[in-house]
A and B are shown apart, each in its own frame.
Chain A
Amino acid sequence: MRLLLVEDEIDIQSFLRRSLEEAGYEVGIAADGKTAQQLAVDGAFDILVVDLGLPDMDGIDLILKLRQRGVRAPVLILSARRSVDDRVRGLEQGGDDYLTKPFALAELLARLRNLFKRNSPSPAEATKLRVLDLELDLLRREATRAGRTLQLTQQEFVLLEYLCRNAGRVVTRSMILDQVWGIRIQTDTNVVDVHIYRLRGKVDGAGQQPLIRTMRGVGYVLRDR
């Protein structure tokens, strides 16, 4: 998958390139708006990551120009600004997404995946999710592990479903808060950890391999191997 990264800060550019390449993207780089326009129009990119503060032009103007010139690829906007301005909201409604700096790499990757999924025809929604010996029946809102039914509250089921949909990938605390509770907050307390801890107690029975792993300093991951 081809990704165009438009970012002028060398430091951010270099680590983003490395981690995006590790995640399997083929990364093209532009450090200013002019280069970005040339590259985006010439090379067929599947997805764009655009920083709003470019040296030669405003990121949103760049995106609007690219749209005019027929670039259809979805855009993830990186913003160091404090609030989302109305134009970003407009783009968001148009199918693009934004992320404020600083961000967790896991979140960046998750948003890129979502953006891509949103913009490609989706297969029929599965009614069942299966990760190793964990099975979720989305219609009956039931979860079983190795045939044993798990007694989950509704909230716990939603949390487990989110982890399953991202099985094998790291999800951060703020991603969990956003996706499971619909809340965008920064908390320095352990609210999410306690929910995970409780869920883990129900999912991982005695003698079973622990499914939910804590990635310290990053977030959580549901094993798929």
Chain B
Amino acid sequence: MSSETVKPRIHSAAWRISCWATVAFAFGTLLVFVFLHRFVASDIQRRSDVWLSGEVETLGDVAERTPKGALYDRVVSEVAELAEREVSNRRATEKVPSNSVFFLQAGSDGSLTLWVGAGDGEPYLRAIQKTRILPDLPTDLHVGGIAVPFRVVSIALEDGSHVYLGLSEKDELRVLNRLRLRFFLLWLLLVLLGFGIVFFTTRRMLGHVREITEAASRIGHSDLTARVPTTRRNDEVGQLAFTLNVMLDRIESSMHQLHTITDSLAHDLRSPLTAIRGKLEMSLRYMADEEHADPIVAAIEELDRLTDFLNKSLDVAEARADALRISRSEIALNELLKTMIDLYEPSMSEKGITIGLRCEGEVKVLADAALLHRMIANLLDNELKHLPHACQVTISVRQEDDHASLTLEDNGPGFDPSVLQNVFERRVKGRNSDGHGLGLAFVDAVARAHGGAAKAANREDGGARIVITLPLTAGDFAGQADPIAHQIGTAA
């Protein structure tokens, strides 16, 4: 279950990484293309300018040498048309050039003396007069009614007239447009390819990380002998797995040490306790006199309390270290609570306390029955000891998403505010408590050992509330796995 909640987050990390990488890559390649484009564009411009300058000089020569007369127009027109044929950058298929070149001669008075080109020469002349065209310097000319500008070069003749040769930038623009389109398609392809490669590589890598995360979150709660999967490659992820496994080795060995210590401590204390208890029981057997038996009975009861204290301390210590040994089986929580309440109800009603169970349907958890029994016994013992007469205890159990929630509420005096913050700590107890301060610490320990949690609060309208959550299944540690996945997500 948890893997399904973890997956999309890690995918989104891969997504994010590839997005950023792609943006950087796209920007870089775009810069390269822009530079190339500018280089090509200026080169084309330069070539056509060179051609224009050469042609206009020829034309100027021809115009100057040809005597003014009937033939003048024809000769110059033919030269201009010839020039038009060798326009650079022309598409081969285009046989008939249409108004891509014009030749214009303006007299010294500014009138149009000769026009070779498509259509009427007047608008061109007007445009030329509006634009300041310096001799021998190619200039852009925008003619009214024609979208594409002309590149125009002029030359002054000796008689004071000017010859203008204009070349439409149409071809040049078409070439550049084609270049741009190809650049764009190539760029798109590169970017998509780059994105794909980065995305799949990151996802693969993060997939390893996710496997490690999932394995690591399983370890410790159920099985300390398991290890995270390692890859054959000795990259960062492989190193991570290796380091985690080394860490787990150390944890396992210290856990083993803890077990050994608690076991030997338990053993060293239990043996004398057994002997003392046995001897007391034996002497009690021969004690006919009730009065003399009293201290012995009291001693046995003290011994039992001591044993209970010893067990709980060790359990709490182990649970705090995540080392409480639990053997899980499927348990109907509502049934278990009903049994416990049946057991405690008479003692409660002796004290005038009413106890009720609220549950909607069956709630099954995978848990250690013996530990749950002891946990609930601790809670109920607590109520029995501390609640004043005529109070009410309500236990409710319900299923919420992936966990069971057990709530115990009473209308007694509630927790002492001074201990409320750390009521689940060892040795923390209320001022009037005669317990050893382990009861609630044990409750918390059991909840944690199962991958759940215990919370204590005072109710708004008085009384205490303890909420215990237990995951429904053993493998479900969504509560722990999520923040880990999240951290990986944000770190990446």
Q: Which residues of A contact B (CB under 8 A)?
A: 9, 11-12, 15-16, 18-19, 22, 53, 80-83, 100-105, 155, 177, 181-191, 193-195, 198, 216-218
Q: Which residue of B lies closest to A13 (CB)?
A: B275
Residue in B closest to A82 when the chains form the complex, CB atoms = B266
CA distance A195 to B344 in the complex (A): 9
Residue of A nearest to B265 (CB): A82
The answer to whether A101 and B342 have CB atoms under 8 Å apart is no
**Interface pair B262/A102, CB less than 8 Å apart:** no
Residues in chain B near residue A188, CB distance under 8 A: 304-305, 308, 381
Interface residue total, chain B, C-beta cutoff 8 A: 51
Please state if B273 and A102 are interface contacts (CB–CB under 8 Å): yes
Does B422 lie at the interface of the complex (its beta carbon under 8 Å from any beta carbon of A)? no
Q: Evaluate contact between B271 and A191: CB separation under 8 angstroms.
A: no
Task: Please determine whether B284 and A82 come into contact, CB atoms closer than 8 angstroms.
Answer: no
Interface: B339 (CB within 8 A): yes
Q: What residues of chain B lie closer than 8 Å to A82, measured between beta carbons?
A: 262-263, 266, 311, 314-315
Select which of B267, B279, B301, B339 is within 8 A of A80 by beta carbon. B267
Q: Compute how far the CA of A12 lies from the CA of B381 in the bound complex, rounded to whole angstroms.
A: 32
The CA of A193 and the CA of B351, in the complex, are separated in Å by 14
Per the bound structure, the CA–CA distance linking A190 and B280 in Å amounts to 22
In the complex, what residues of B have CB within 8 A of residue A9's CB? 271, 274-275
The smallest C-beta distance from A154 to any residue of chain B, in angstroms, reads 10
Q: Does B55 contact A (CB under 8 A)?
A: no
B270 contacts A by Cβ under 8 Å: yes
Cα-based distance from A80 to B314 in the complex (angstroms): 13
Contact, CB under 8 Å: B296 / A217: yes
| A186 vs B375: C-alpha distance when bound (angstroms) | 11
Listed by A's residue number, 25 A-B pairs whose Cβ atoms lie within 8 Å are A11-B278, A12-B274, A12-B278, A15-B281, A16-B278, A22-B285, A53-B271, A82-B262, A82-B266, A102-B270, A102-B273, A102-B274, A102-B276, A102-B303, A103-B277, A104-B277, A177-B343, A183-B373, A186-B307, A188-B305, A189-B381, A189-B385, A191-B347, A198-B346, A217-B296
Decide: B343 and A183 in contact? CB cutoff 8 A: yes
- Whether B304 lies near A186 (C-beta < 8 A) is yes
The verdict on A217 contacting B385 (CB below 8 Å), with A155-B342, A185-B374 known, is no
- Most B CB contacts (10 A, CB to CB) among A19, A102, A190, A194 go to A102
Contact partners of A190 in chain B: CB under 8 A: 347
Residue numbers in A under 8 Å from B293 (CB-CB): 216-217
B-side contacts of A189, CB under 8 Å: 347, 381, 384-385
Closest to A195 in B: B346
The chain A residue with its CB closest to the CB of B349 is A194
Contact of A187 with B381 in the complex, beta carbons under 8 Å: yes
With A82-B266, A102-B303 already in contact, the answer to whether A12 and B385 are too (CB < 8 A) is no
Expressed in whole angstroms, the Cα–Cα distance for A217 and B297 within the complex equals: 4
Which chain B residues (289-345) contact chain A, with CB distance < 8 Å? 290, 293-294, 296-298, 300-301, 303-305, 307-308, 311, 314-315, 325, 339-340, 342-344
CA distance A16 to B325 in the complex (A): 30
Bound-state Cα–Cα, A16 to B272, Å = 13
Would you call B300 and A105 a contact (CB within 8 A)?
no
Name the 7 nearest CB pairs between A and B, nearest first. A217-B297, A11-B275, A15-B278, A102-B274, A80-B270, A101-B274, A80-B267
Residue-wise, chain B 428-453 has the 8 Å CB interface mask toward A (1 for contact) of 00000000000000000000000000
Chain A residues near B271 (CB, 8 Å)? 9, 11-12, 53, 80, 101
Q: Does B370 contact A (CB under 8 A)?
A: yes
Please give, as numbers and ranges, the residues of chain A lying within 8 Å of B274 by CB-CB distance.
Answer: 9, 12, 80, 101-103
* A101-B273, A185-B377, A216-B297 as given contacts; A194 in contact with B350, CB under 8 Å: yes
Kindly list chain B residues whose C-beta atoms are within 8 Å of the C-beta of A19.
278, 281-282
Contact of B308 among A22, A186, A193 (CB under 8 A): A186
Asked whether B339 lies within 8 Å of A181 as measured between CB atoms, the reply is yes
Contacts of B282 in A (CB 8 A): 15, 18-19, 105
CA A104 to CA B280, docked complex, whole Å: 10
Q: Which residues of B contact A191 (CB under 8 A)?
A: 343-344, 346-347, 384
Q: Bound complex: CA of A101 vs CA of B268, how far in Å? A: 11
What is the distance, in angstroms, from A49's C-beta to the closest C-beta of chain B?
A: 13
A208-B325 Cα distance, complex, nearest whole Å: 50
Q: Which residue of B lies closest to A172 (CB)?
A: B304
**Chain A residues near B270 (CB-CB < 8 A):** 80, 100-102
Most buried by B among A81, A105, A185: A185
**Contact between A218 and B284, CB atoms less than 8 A apart:** yes
A53-B269 Cα distance, complex, nearest whole Å: 13
Residues of A within 8 A of B263 (CB): 81-82
Give the complex CA separation of A104 and B262 in angstroms.
23
CB of B241, distance to nearest CB on chain A (Å): 29
A9 to B275, CA, bound (A): 9
Beta-carbon contact of B340 and A183 below 8 Å:
yes
How many Å lie between the Cα of A6 and that of B267 in the bound state?
A: 16
In Å, the complex CA distance between A83 and B267 comes to: 11
Q: Do B308 and A102 have beta carbons less than 8 Å apart?
A: no
